[in-house]
Amino acid sequence: MTHMLTCPCGWTVISPQGENDVKKHIVIHLQDTHPGTSMTEEEIKRIIKFI
Ligand SMILES: [Zn+2]
Protein backbone atom coordinates (compact mmCIF):
# COMPACT_ATOMS: atom_id res chain seq x y z
CA MET A 1 0.00 0.00 0.00
CA THR A 2 1.24 3.47 -0.85
CA HIS A 3 1.59 5.81 2.10
CA MET A 4 1.12 9.54 1.78
CA LEU A 5 1.99 12.10 4.39
CA THR A 6 1.33 15.83 4.16
CA CYS A 7 3.07 18.22 6.51
CA PRO A 8 0.95 21.11 7.85
CA CYS A 9 3.07 23.41 5.62
CA GLY A 10 1.86 21.60 2.49
CA TRP A 11 4.95 19.50 1.83
CA THR A 12 3.97 15.98 0.82
CA VAL A 13 5.80 12.69 0.67
CA ILE A 14 4.45 9.63 -1.11
CA SER A 15 6.13 6.27 -0.69
CA PRO A 16 5.23 2.81 -1.88
CA GLN A 17 7.71 1.44 0.65
CA GLY A 18 5.49 1.80 3.66
CA GLU A 19 5.06 3.60 6.92
CA ASN A 20 8.66 3.50 8.10
CA ASP A 21 9.81 5.13 4.89
CA VAL A 22 7.41 8.09 5.10
CA LYS A 23 8.30 8.50 8.79
CA LYS A 24 11.96 8.70 7.85
CA HIS A 25 11.19 11.39 5.25
CA ILE A 26 9.04 13.52 7.56
CA VAL A 27 11.74 13.43 10.24
CA ILE A 28 14.29 14.69 7.70
CA HIS A 29 11.80 17.32 6.46
CA LEU A 30 11.15 18.58 9.99
CA GLN A 31 14.87 18.88 10.68
CA ASP A 32 15.49 20.72 7.39
CA THR A 33 12.43 22.94 7.16
CA HIS A 34 11.07 23.27 10.68
CA PRO A 35 14.08 23.16 12.99
CA GLY A 36 12.97 22.88 16.58
CA THR A 37 9.68 21.22 15.63
CA SER A 38 9.20 17.57 16.35
CA MET A 39 6.33 15.18 15.89
CA THR A 40 5.59 12.18 18.02
CA GLU A 41 5.00 8.74 16.50
CA GLU A 42 1.30 9.21 17.29
CA GLU A 43 1.09 12.58 15.51
CA ILE A 44 2.87 11.18 12.46
CA LYS A 45 0.60 8.14 12.34
CA ARG A 46 -2.46 10.39 12.51
CA ILE A 47 -1.52 12.29 9.35
CA ILE A 48 -0.42 9.29 7.26
CA LYS A 49 -2.90 8.43 4.54
CA PHE A 50 -3.08 5.27 2.45
CA ILE A 51 -3.63 5.73 -1.25
ZN1 LIG B 1 6.64 21.14 6.60
pLDDT given at position 44? 94
pLDDT given at position 40? 93
**Would you give the distance in Å from CA 27 to the centre of its chain?**
7
CA of 1 to the centre of ligand 1 (A): 23
| Distance, CA of 8 to CA of 36 (rounded, Å) | 15
pLDDT given at position 38? 87
CA of 2 to the centre of ligand 1 (A): 20
Domain ranges, residue 42: 3-50
Mean pLDDT for back-to-back runs of 10 residues, the chain (51 residues): 95 95 96 94 94 92
CB atoms within 5 A of ion ligand 1 belong to: 7, 9, 11, 33
Contacts 24+ apart (CB under 8 A), 15-21: 19/45, 19/48
**Would you give the distance in Å from CA 42 to the centre of its chain?**
11
First to last CA, the chain: 7
pLDDT given at position 46? 94
pLDDT given at position 1? 86
CA of 33 to the centre of ligand 1 (A): 6
Total of domains in the chain: 1
